Structure 1
Amino acid sequence: MPRTLTLGNDGPLVAPQPQQVDLAAVARPHLEALTAEVGETVHLMVLEGASARFVAVVEGGSTWHVAPRVGLLMPAHLTSGGKALLAELTATELRALYPRGLALTPDAAGPAPGTLHRELAAIRRRGYARNIEETERGVSALGACVRDGLGRAAGAVVVAAPTSRARGRALDQLSGPLLATAAAISQRMGS
Structure 2
Amino acid sequence: MKNKPAYGIDSVDHALHLATLLQQEGPLRVTDAAQRLGVARSTAHRLLAMLVYRDFAEQDEDRRYVAGSVLRRHTVPEPVADLRRIALPHLQSLVARTDETSNLLVVVADQVRFAATVECGQVLRVGDREGKVLPAHLASGGRAVLATRSEAEIRELYGDPDSGVADVDALLRDLRRVRRQGFAMNDQKTEVGVTALGCAVAGPAGAVPAAVSLAMPTARYRRERLGEWVRQVTTTAERISKELGAVL
The TM-score, its normalising length taken from structure 2, stands at 0.63
Aligned counterpart, 1:157? 212
Question: In the alignment, is the contact (CA less than 8 A) between 1:21 and 1:189 conserved in 2?
Answer: no
- Per-residue CA deviation, residues 42-101 of structure 1 (Å, 9 max, x unaligned), is 000011110100000100110110111111111001100000011011111111211225
Aligned counterpart, 2:239? 184
Please state whether the residue corresponding to 2:211 is helix, strand or coil.
strand
2:142 is aligned, of 82, 85, 101, to 82
Of structures 1 and 2, the one with the larger relative CO (CA 8 A, separation 6+) is 1
1:44 is aligned, of 100, 104, 123, to 104
Aligned counterpart, 1:17? none
Please state whether the residue corresponding to 1:185 is helix, strand or coil.
helix
Q: Aligned partners of 1:151 and 1:33: how far apart in 2?
A: 26
- Per-residue CA deviation, residues 20-62 of structure 1 (Å, 9 max, x unaligned), is 9711001010000001100011000011110100000100110
Q: Aligned partners of 1:38 and 1:172: how far apart in 2?
A: 12
Please state whether the residue corresponding to 2:115 is helix, strand or coil.
strand
Residue type of the alignment partner of 1:181 = T
Aligned counterpart, 2:129? 69
Question: In the alignment, is the contact (CA less than 8 A) between 1:150 and 1:190 conserved in 2?
Answer: no
Please state whether the residue corresponding to 2:191 is helix, strand or coil.
coil
| Worse-superposed segment, 75-84 or 150-159 | 150-159
Structure 1 portions without partners, runs of 5+: 1-19, 105-110
Aligned counterpart, 1:123? 178
| Worse-superposed segment, 165-174 or 126-135 | 165-174
Pair 1:47–1:177, CA change in 2 (3 A): same
Please state whether the residue corresponding to 1:22 is helix, strand or coil.
helix
1:103 is aligned, of 161, 164, 169, to 164
Q: 1:154, CA displacement in angstroms?
A: 2.7
Q: Aligned partners of 2:221 and 2:108: how far apart in 1?
A: 28
Q: Aligned partners of 2:118 and 2:150: how far apart in 1?
A: 31
Residue type of the alignment partner of 1:174 = W
Q: Aligned partners of 1:188 and 1:152: how far apart in 2?
A: 12
Q: What is the aligned-residue identity percentage?
A: 39
Q: 1:172, CA displacement in angstroms?
A: 4.1
Q: Aligned partners of 1:78 and 1:63: how far apart in 2?
A: 26
Q: How many aligned residue pairs are there? A: 166
Give the number of the structure whose residues are more often strand, by fraction: 1
2:151 is aligned, of 71, 91, 94, to 91
Give the number of the structure whose residues are more often helix, by fraction: 2
Pair 1:153–1:71, CA change in 2 (3 A): closer
Q: Aligned partners of 2:237 and 2:130: how far apart in 1?
A: 19
Q: 1:119, CA displacement in angstroms?
A: 1.2
Q: 1:147, CA displacement in angstroms?
A: 1.6
Please give the residue correspondences for 1:131-142 in structure 2 after superposition, counting only pairs within 5 Å. 131-142=186-197
Residue type of the alignment partner of 1:92 = A
Q: 1:168, CA displacement in angstroms?
A: 2.5
Question: In the alignment, is the contact (CA less than 8 A) between 2:194 and 2:215 conserved in 1?
Answer: yes
Aligned counterpart, 1:8? none
Q: Aligned partners of 2:198 and 2:231: how far apart in 1?
A: 11
Structure 2 portions without partners, runs of 5+: 1-79
